[in-house]
Amino acid sequence: MRVVLQECKKMEYQREEASPICAAGEVALQVQCCAVCRSDAKMWREGHRDLVLPRVLGHEVVGIDPADGRLYAVWPGVACGTCELCQAGRDNLCKEMRIVGFHRDGGFATTLVVPRSSLEPVPQGLPALLATFAEPVACLENGLSRLAAVPGERAIVYGGGTLGMLAALWLAERGCQVTVIERDSGKLARLASLAEAKHIELARDTTKADFDLAMCCCPDPLALSLAVGKLRRGGRFSFFSGLTKNETLDGNLLNLIHYRELEVVGSYGPRRADMAPALAFCLRQQESLGMLIEGRIHPAELQAVLPRVLSGGALRYIVDWSLVGQAASPAAAVKVDSASSTAAPALTPFLAELCAAIRPASREMLLRAQTKVDRKTKPLGSLGRVEQLAVRLAAIQERLDPAVDCRRMYVFAGDHGVVEEGVSAFPAKVTVQMVENFLAGGAAINVFCRHYGIELWVVDSGVAGDFADHPQLIKRKVARGTANFALGPAMTRQQALQAMEEGARAFLHGQGRQPCSLVGMGEMGIGNSSSATAIICAATGLGAAAVAGRGTGVDDVGLARKIEVIDKALSLHGVDGSDPLELLARLGGYELGGICGAVLAAAADRCCVVLDGIISTAAGLLACLLCPTAADYIVAGHRSVEKGQAEALRLMGLEPVLDLGLRLGEGTGAAITMNLVDLACRMMREMASFEEAGVDSGSL
C-alpha cells in the first residue's frame, strides 16, 4: 500500500501490485511508522521546487530490514559520498543530494527502497513510534551543535510546535535556561505539563532580553526578527528553513546582526552522522516525546490531518502502517479530488457564441485585394510584407480600401505560481511594480504607444496585488496569481473560462465606447514565458529544450532549471492541443487566458489582432486551437528571440512581419507592426494603379 500525491492537494491510496526493485546496496525497508511533518504538508499544498510528481511523501521513517529483522531509522538523504562536502562530513550539502519524499518516494508506503547505508539502528527499548523523532532531532543536532551551548546560558525559541519543543528539550539537556514563545493558547495548554517537568518557560511573549542563544522554529518572518532582536551583543542564532514563501525581511534585521556582531548559523537538514546521537536523545527523552504526539493515524487518514499540520495548530501525527486492515474514518479516506474527476465543462454560452461568430475571411476578397495590390505602380511583390498586410486587412474588413481609424493596445497582466521554481531572473513582485509603471506612463510600451498614437489600456487579469482606480486600468482579476503548474493545475477549468470571458469583455467594452479596427496584444507577468513555453511544447509535442528561451534573461543555470521544470510539468499533466481549455487551465496564466478571449472577441468583431512575442503568441495559439478560423484575423507582429514562438506560429500558419531582435514583451513589437498595418492600408487606398497614373506596366 502507498499514499501517492498525484498533484498538489490530490492524493490517492494505492495498492502496490509488484515487489519494489532494489539496486545494489539498497534495501526494501518494511515501513512501520512515518511521521507527518510540516514539510510534507507544505508539499501537499504547494509543492517544492525539487519535487517531481507523482510522488510518495514522508521522510521521517522507521522500518524493519527484512534481512536481519531489526528496526532502523532512515537518514532521508542519498548523497554521492565522494565530493569534498561529503568527505568533510557535510553530506547534507552534497550537490547530488536526493531526498526521500522529495526526489525519491518516501515513507507513506508499506515499503521504502533506500540505501542500506542510510539505515541507523534503533536502540533497544525505543518504540518505533518514538523513533520517528530521530530525523527532526538530527536536524537540531546539525544546527544547534555549532552554537556550542554551555550550562547556564539563556536561550529563546520562537514556536512551540514539535520542532520548537524538541529544540527546547535539546537545549535544556545542555543546562540552558530555555524560554519558548508560542501564541497558540491551545498549544500552551497542551504543553504546560511538559514545560513544567523540564523547567522550560513557556509563554505567549516575554519582556526579557539579552539572550545568549536564539532560534526560530515557525514560518513567520516576524518571529525570526523578534528572535534575533532578543539576542545580546555577540549572541548566536541558529537559522532553520521554513519561512513563508515570497516574504521580505526588514533590512534593519541585517543592520542589527552587523552592529551586535551576532553569529548566525545556517542549518539545512541532518547530516548522516547526526542520526545516531539523535536516536540516543530519543531514548533518553521517551516520556517527553510521547507528550508531543497528537495522534497515531491510519494511512487513509493522512490527507485529513495535513491541513491541521500546515496551519500549525497540531503537534505530531504519526502514520502507523500496522493499522492497515483496520477501518479508517470514512470522512478521512484518501481519494481522488472530486473536482478533478467531474466532467469537464464546455465553453460558456458567451464564449461559444463568440466562436460561432468568427467567419473565415472571404477567399474572393483576398483575390480581389491581391489583384488591386498587383496593379499598383511598382514591380510585383516589391513592397514585400507591406503588401501582405494590405491584402489581409482588406479581407478582414471586406473592403478594397481598408482603413485604420482607431488603434488600441491591451496589456494583460498576471502573476504565475511557477516563479517559485526559480525559472525567472526577476522576483514575482516585479509584476506589480511594472503595472504601476505602465499606469505612470514610464514603460517602453507607453513610449511606443505615445509615439504611434495608439490608445493604451492595462488589464489586471490576475496580478498578485491591488491597484487604485486609474483611467487606463481595466480590473478583470480572476485571482491573485496562478498556482504552480509544476506541481498541479495552474488554475481550474472554471477559472480558465473566466479569464477568457474577462479578456473578451474587456475588448468588447472598448468597442462599445469607440469601435476599433486594429488591436495589439501585450502582456506583463513574471514567469509567463515559462507558461507560454509549456503551452507551446504541449501543443507541438516538442520537449522544453527545443522551445525554451531565456525569458527575462536567466543565465545558463537558470535556463537549464527552466527546461527541467517545464519538462517535469509536461510529464505531470500529459496534455496536448486536443483540449485547449485544459491546456490553459493546466499550464497557462490568467493574462494568457485574457488575451485568448480578447483575440476571439476581436475576430468575432472582424477586428485585426496584432500579436507580440512568445507570450501573446501562445495565447493566440490557444484561440486558434479553440477556433481555427481566428487565425484569419491575426497578424504576427515580430519574430521573438524566444525560439518557441516560431513553433506556435507554424501551427497557426503565420509569419512574423518584423525581425528586430526584440524580447521585451509588453506589446512593443506589436506597436511597431500596428504602425506598418496603418501604412499598408494607406498604400492600398492612396497609391495609384498603373491605369490611374498613366504608367506603362510593361516598363516596370
Residues serving a catalytic function are: 666
Q: Report which DSSP code applies to 110.
A: S
Residue 346: C-alpha distances to residues 497, 566, 582, 609 (Å): 9, 27, 10, 25
Q: Where are the alpha helices (DSSP H) in 185-331?
A: 185-197, 221-229, 251-259, 275-284, 286-290, 302-311
Question: Which residues neighbour 318 within 8 Å (Cβ) at sequence distance 6 or greater?
Answer: 33, 34, 35, 36, 129, 132, 293, 295, 296, 297
Pair 110, 30: CB distance under 8 Å:
yes
Question: Which residues neighbour 699 within 8 Å (Cβ) at sequence distance 6 or greater?
Answer: none
Query: Collapsing DSSP states into helix, strand and coil, what is residue 413?
Result: strand
Tell me whether residue 69 is exposed, middle or buried, using C-beta atoms within 10 angstroms of its C-beta: 0 to 12, 13 to 18, 19 or more: exposed
CA dist 102 and 514 (Å) reads 54
- Single-letter amino acid, residue 108: F
Query: Collapsing DSSP states into helix, strand and coil, what is residue 427?
Result: coil
CA dist 630 and 311 (Å) reads 47
CA dist 393 and 276 (Å) reads 76
CA dist 282 and 289 (Å) reads 7
Pair 677, 610: CB distance under 8 Å:
yes
Query: Collapsing DSSP states into helix, strand and coil, what is residue 376?
Result: strand
- Single-letter amino acid, residue 239: F
Q: Which three cell numbers stand for residue 483?
A: 498556482
Q: Indicate the helix (H) or strand (E) that contains 497.
A: helix 493-513
- In DSSP terms, 455 is beta-bridged to 408
CA dist 587 and 273 (Å) reads 42
- Single-letter amino acid, residue 507: F
The crossing angle, in degrees rounded to 10, of helices 614-626 and 644-652 is 30
Report the Cα–Cα distance between both ends of the chain, in Å, rounded.
81
Distance of CA 429 to the CA centre of its chain: 14
CA dist 444 and 90 (Å) reads 48
Q: Where are the beta strands (DSSP E) in 313-439?
A: 316-320, 407-414
Pair 445, 456: CB distance under 8 Å:
yes
Residue located via cell numbers 478560423: 629
CA dist 619 and 625 (Å) reads 10
Q: How many CB atoms lie within 10 A of CB 70?
A: 12
Residue 278: C-alpha distances to residues 58, 295, 461 (Å): 18, 22, 50
